[in-house]
A and B are shown apart, each in its own frame.
Chain A
Amino acid sequence: MSLETVKIETKDKFIELYHENQDLLKSDSPEYINSIREEAFNHFQKLGIPTKKNEQYKYTNLDQEFNNDYKTYISPKNIKFQIEDIFKCDVPELNTKVVLLLNGWYYDRENLLEELPGGAVIGSFQKAAQVYPDLIKKHFAQYAKSEKDGMVALNTAFVKDGLFLYVPKGVTIEKPIQIINILMDEESGLTQHRNLFILEENSEASIVVCDHTLSTPNFLTNSVSEFFIDKNARFDFSRMQNEHNGSKQVSHLYFQQERDSKVNTNTITLHGGLIRSNINVLLNGEGCENNTYGLYLTDKGQHIDNYVHMDHAYPNCTSNQLFKGVLDDFATGAFNGKVLVRKDAQKTQAFQANNNILLTDDTDMNTKPQLEIYADDVKCSHGATVGQLDEDALFYLRARGIKKKEAKLLLMYAFANDVIKAIKIPALQERIQDLVDKRLRGELSRCNSCQMHCC
């Protein structure tokens, strides 16, 4: 018996999908979006899905992950569920404004844009593109560039919905906003939401994002978020990645910070089969501060790959990167962080660290912190460690009567706590402490049984 297989390139599948659905894709998007869409599609045709030959994606085989027959959500699918049943609040202090995306679509279809106090707006990106064309034209696809990354091009070519947040000049949103990304369907699906966050001068907001899977099929996500943080604005962004291990997600965050703005991000990775997180920051004015933190606790066959690009384009900015991870079983991971200090960016302070604990010999971690400095008056450091739990510390704890398992947990928890400490919202910090503790104890299972109690 001979079997001939014709290998269709992953890229070609998406090209075909685009051609087939072009009309539908373009039908309810304004012209200015569609022209960017066309451009992005052209870039995608050239770039395709990155393979491991691409230096930036060396440790994660995306081509293989995207070569499947998952359906894509060209239009919203009507899936109803009782939100109250799924998310019951056990952190009353975490008094948040909650919005949902279901398979990449803004969930509340009756109420696509909502005004918040002070004239801030939250809602569906697709709707916002129609209602606020001037605002969106100014920012959409300005920070996430399709010509640089095939994955961004793919997302942009298929852009439909996602989350939109606008905070006008001088406005502070007191309550944290919680965005819950829900993946739920009876069949496997590819989600590519597109988010846009605009914080005008001197405004302030904090966001908590939770990624969830609420049904068992495999899911694939390729999301892009753009953040424009204008002068003197303050923005806090924490996210919890807690999808089941049959799901794969690639996410791209692009921040542009203007003078004297301050951004904190925290990415907490608990569950998920394959996770690639890209964070790109452009410090585009003097006096900016950026703190980009991440914690990943993985086991079994999980794969986690964090990529950070920190671009110091102006003088007197400070950036801190701290990524910490504990890998168990045969989990694999990569960290690739780059700090670029441009010629004029004098008095830059940039720090970068990636520390890993490998609990077994079968885990594998690749870490590559990099500095590229063209200015001469700067203070920069970078470092990476890959090691085991400290045997001396472990013995010290055991010699006081603490069981080996408990002693290990104490050490892992202490290790993780540097990142958790940096979470600004106290109630969220506590919640995450608790989740991390459960995760390390192996008591946090996949989130169909939802232990996140997000809202």
Chain B
Amino acid sequence: MLSIKNLHASIEGKEILKGIDLEVKPGEVHAIMGPNGSGKSTLASVLAGRELFEVTEGKVKYFGKDLFDLSPEERASEGIFLGFQYPIEIPGVSMVNFMKTAVNEQRKHKGLEPMSSSDFLKLMREKKELVELDAALANRSVNEGFSGGEKKRNEIFQMAMLEPKLSILDETDSGLDIDALRIVANGVNKLKSADNATIVITHYQRLLDYIVPDYVHVLYNGKIIKSGGKDLALELEEKGYDWLKKGETV
């Protein structure tokens, strides 16, 4: 479903992604790991359509379409979901209004009628339960005054509401305690199907105890320097990244 070829991207003239190749097929879970500053969030943002970053080289196909021909909202409506590393607070926009607008805009894109209010509220209730999101949070402004953990859970809640085909979860685990981590992972696993795929970006192997990846990639300095199966994550946990970094320079 997603095919990234030799992707280069930069910001303010500084190259951050230096030739990424990645293939993701339906039903797969990919983990991207790597030290801080290696470009994981940049990759996620570029895939979601953030204009801040300039794509200087390479191609990305999503279900056969050139991804860069689509606006961020079109990508979302075509099933790409980015779980933000740092979810944004939007004072004055209620969660309900935000989700209702998002759901209906995506339905419009697919040529469907807007959802009725009662159906929408039912859906909200169901999904809130799925991720054990405090009901009161849904009545507040988007992420405003949410704790770090609540923000992350809210990302998964939105994912559950929008039922994407390709979810890119950027450090959804960081800042979560073990219970919250389990709830988040549980949410992801419940939404998993043979038709959709997930890219989990993480720092820690611990999330991968709950969300079992088919592939693990190490991103370092704008490049994927190593790919493997789920065992690679364990190896990284044990040995850190240094042995790979050295390997790169050889």
Asked whether any CB of chain B lies closer than 8 Å to the CB of A36, the reply is no
Contact status of A401 and B92, CB under 8 A, knowing A395-B50, A410-B97: no
Asked whether any CB of chain A lies closer than 8 Å to the CB of B213, the reply is no
- Interface contact B88-A396, CB-CB below 8 Å: yes
Indicate which residue in A401, A410, A414 contacts B76 across the interface (CB closer than 8 Å): A401
Interface residues of B in 61-77 (CB under 8 A from A): 71-73, 75-77
- Interface contact B90-A401, CB-CB below 8 Å: no
Q: Give, as a whole number of angstroms, the nearest-CB distance from B85 to chain A.
A: 12
Asked whether any CB of chain B lies closer than 8 Å to the CB of A185, the reply is no
Q: Nearest A residue to B89 by beta-carbon distance? A: A393
Asked whether any CB of chain B lies closer than 8 Å to the CB of A399, the reply is yes
- Interface contact B76-A417, CB-CB below 8 Å: no
Contact status of A400 and B98, CB under 8 A, knowing A395-B50, A395-B72, A406-B105: yes
Q: Give, as a whole number of angstroms, the nearest-CB distance from B77 to chain A.
A: 5
Asked whether any CB of chain A lies closer than 8 Å to the CB of B84, the reply is yes
* Count of chain A residues with a beta carbon within 8 Å of a chain B beta carbon: 23
Asked whether any CB of chain B lies closer than 8 Å to the CB of A131, the reply is no
- Interface contact A392-B88, CB-CB below 8 Å: yes
Give the bracket for the number of chain B residues in contact with chain A: 20 to 34
- Interface contact A398-B90, CB-CB below 8 Å: no
> Which A residues touch B88, using CB under 8 A?
390, 392-393, 395-396
A415 to B90, CA, bound (A): 10
Q: Give, as a whole number of angstroms, the nearest-CB distance from A229 to chain B.
A: 31
Which one of A391, A398, A400, A406 has the highest number of Cβ atoms from chain B below 10 Å of its Cβ?
A400
Indicate which residue in A390, A391, A401, A411 contacts B102 across the interface (CB closer than 8 Å): A401
Q: Give, as a whole number of angstroms, the nearest-CB distance from B9 to chain A.
A: 16
> Which B residues touch A402, using CB under 8 A?
73, 101-102, 105
Q: Give, as a whole number of angstroms, the nearest-CB distance from A421 to chain B.
A: 9
> Which A residues touch B162, using CB under 8 A?
400-401
Q: Give, as a whole number of angstroms, the nearest-CB distance from B171 to chain A.
A: 16
A418 to B92, CA, bound (A): 8
> Which B residues touch A413, using CB under 8 A?
92-93
> Which A residues touch B76, using CB under 8 A?
398-401
- Interface contact B106-A397, CB-CB below 8 Å: no
A390 to B91, CA, bound (A): 11
Contact status of A406 and B101, CB under 8 A, knowing A395-B72, A396-B84: yes
- Interface contact A400-B102, CB-CB below 8 Å: yes
A391 to B90, CA, bound (A): 11
> Which A residues touch B82, using CB under 8 A?
399
- Interface contact A399-B49, CB-CB below 8 Å: yes
- Interface contact B92-A398, CB-CB below 8 Å: no
Interface residues of B in 212-243 (CB under 8 A from A): none
Contact status of A401 and B87, CB under 8 A, knowing A406-B101, A414-B93: no
Q: Give, as a whole number of angstroms, the nearest-CB distance from A301 to chain B.
A: 28
> Which B residues touch A396, using CB under 8 A?
84, 87-88, 90, 142
Q: Give, as a whole number of angstroms, the nearest-CB distance from A240 to chain B.
A: 21
> Which B residues touch A379, using CB under 8 A?
none
- Interface contact B87-A403, CB-CB below 8 Å: no
Asked whether any CB of chain B lies closer than 8 Å to the CB of A58, the reply is no
Interface residues of A in 260-319 (CB under 8 A from B): none
Q: Give, as a whole number of angstroms, the nearest-CB distance from A390 to chain B.
A: 8
Asked whether any CB of chain A lies closer than 8 Å to the CB of B125, the reply is no
- Interface contact B49-A397, CB-CB below 8 Å: no
- Interface contact B77-A397, CB-CB below 8 Å: no
A401 to B78, CA, bound (A): 9
Q: Give, as a whole number of angstroms, the nearest-CB distance from B58 to chain A.
A: 21
> Which A residues touch B73, using CB under 8 A?
398-399, 401-404, 407
- Interface contact A410-B49, CB-CB below 8 Å: no
- Mask, B33-65, CB within 8 Å of A = 1, is 000000000000000111110000000000000
Which one of A390, A396, A397, A406 has the highest number of Cβ atoms from chain B below 10 Å of its Cβ?
A396
Asked whether any CB of chain A lies closer than 8 Å to the CB of B190, the reply is no
> Which B residues touch A397, using CB under 8 A?
90, 93, 98, 102
Q: Give, as a whole number of angstroms, the nearest-CB distance from B48 to chain A.
A: 5
Q: Nearest A residue to B158 by beta-carbon distance? A: A400
- Mask, B19-36, CB within 8 Å of A = 1, is 000000000000000000
- Interface contact A399-B48, CB-CB below 8 Å: yes
Asked whether any CB of chain A lies closer than 8 Å to the CB of B109, the reply is yes
> Which B residues touch A390, using CB under 8 A?
88, 90
- Interface contact A411-B101, CB-CB below 8 Å: no
- Interface contact B92-A414, CB-CB below 8 Å: yes
- Interface contact B90-A393, CB-CB below 8 Å: yes
- Interface contact B105-A411, CB-CB below 8 Å: no
A115 to B51, CA, bound (A): 64
- Interface contact A417-B92, CB-CB below 8 Å: yes
Between-chain CB contacts (< 8 Å), 29 pairs: A393-B89, A395-B48, A395-B51, A396-B87, A397-B93, A398-B73, A399-B48, A399-B81, A400-B76, A400-B98, A400-B158, A401-B73, A401-B76, A401-B77, A401-B102, A401-B105, A401-B106, A401-B162, A402-B105, A404-B73, A407-B73, A410-B93, A410-B97, A410-B98, A411-B93, A413-B93, A414-B93, A414-B141, A417-B92
Additional A-B contact list (7), CB under 8 Å, known A391-B52, A414-B92, A418-B92: A400-B76, A401-B162, A404-B73, A406-B101, A411-B93, A414-B141, A417-B92
A residues engaging B (CB < 8 A)? 390-393, 395-404, 406-407, 410-411, 413-415, 417-418
Question: What are the 7 closest A-B residue pairs judged by CB atoms, nearest first?
Answer: A414-B92, A401-B76, A400-B102, A398-B72, A401-B106, A396-B88, A401-B77
